[in-house]
Structure 1
């Protein structure tokens, strides 16, 4: 055992957060999120790894009901457009899914990426220019796990028109919206992901996804 490993109870707590994290849509409670709790989860997000230590993220905390309503109106239109892309039983199932908690969640949060924060040449981004965007996704995951440890649910709303999201939140053209999240205390966490429970998809077996040394090689 490594001298740098967590104590067993600390390790177990980390894995508990990972395995019990859920994309929350419909069970938000109206209770406000205390500022110290919100600050802790934002601090966890801010401590995510970032290419060239550029820390390209910003966090827009949305609590104004009018702004939430504007975002929700766009979601409603985008969701209708998305539903039209499916057919048959898949479309019927899609129409029954609740895919956001924009108005119910006490806090909405938009995480953005400033791709110019460290200038045109960034250590580590010289050959894969999207590394700054991936860094912001790491911030999303840090926040999500910290929120779960705090008893908060998080839902990622991706069915939005990016241009309308920019307009609603006053996001400059050079800034990229990476994630729009709903955040708050919940009545419960589902034992399994909601999409799996609803029959949309099942979790793939890990052994089917792991290759050794080269693509497709399993031994």
Structure 2
């Protein structure tokens, strides 16, 4: 097998292509309640999974797997696991924050036509992986890159994505039958959307505001402004 790689041109995108990339980034939203009933077909789902599979990964270990869930029974089990964890989460917030937290819709598990669990196989690539020798968590970070690739591709397809993270890990593991060493990184709800908030929903509903970029950029060391 040849290991020779042929370089190809790496020119900048056209103005239209560049604008489309930034539009996907800036208009991407975490969707909870705007899903339509339009089914997500296998062809478009295949494109999204292909985009996810082309994410960067440390040592090219590609630690991800994709569990596509269309079963209503499985979704009900997962929604039940969310509800239990969400009740626990609500109790963790202060008295002044708890009413707003409880009023937020934080998942669309039963509403979205399809769900996707993206997992990380922590044993993939063997005990020693290039780039992971001193940072074992890089497999998890690589898997999150796959999530982001899929999310941006979905935005370009008119498909909304909602990341549901309020679970006990053991519940998802049991429901999906995950083997030892495979961890769930993201439960994503996917479905076509006709409208999206013009800014993040949590910002629109008063939970938080986007931090100013200028306050987050340092020069050559922590806290140094340039």
Range class of TM-score, shorter chain: over 0.9
Q: What SS does structure 2 have at the residue aligned with 1:84?
A: helix
Match among 38, 56, 72 for residue 63 of structure 2: 56
Q: Quote the residue 1:194 is aligned against.
A: 201
Match among 166, 171, 193 for residue 159 of structure 1: 166
Match among 71, 74, 77 for residue 78 of structure 2: 71
CA offsets 1:155-185 (integer angstroms, 9 cap, x no match): 0000011101011111112101110100010
Match among 199, 221, 224 for residue 217 of structure 1: 224
The TM-score normalised by the length of structure 2 is 0.95
**CA positional deviation for 1:3:** 6.7
Asked if 1:16 corresponds to 2:20, the answer is no
Asked if 1:96 corresponds to 2:103, the answer is yes
The TM-score normalised by the length of structure 1 is 0.98
Q: Quote the residue 1:87 is aligned against.
A: 94
Q: Quote the residue 2:133 is aligned against.
A: 126
**CA positional deviation for 1:26:** 0.7
Q: State the superposition RMSD in angstroms.
A: 1.1
CA distance in 2, matches of 1:100, 1:182: 8
CA distance in 2, matches of 1:3, 1:46: 21
Q: What SS does structure 2 have at the residue aligned with 1:60?
A: strand
Q: What SS does structure 2 have at the residue aligned with 1:9?
A: helix
Q: What SS does structure 1 have at the residue aligned with 2:38?
A: coil
Q: Quote the residue 2:54 is aligned against.
A: 47
Gaps of 5+ in 2: 1-8
Asked if 1:108 corresponds to 2:115, the answer is yes
Which range moved further: 51-60 or 83-92?
Answer: 83-92
Gaps of 5+ in 1: none
For this pair of structures, how many residues does the alignment match? 218
Q: Quote the residue 1:173 is aligned against.
A: 180
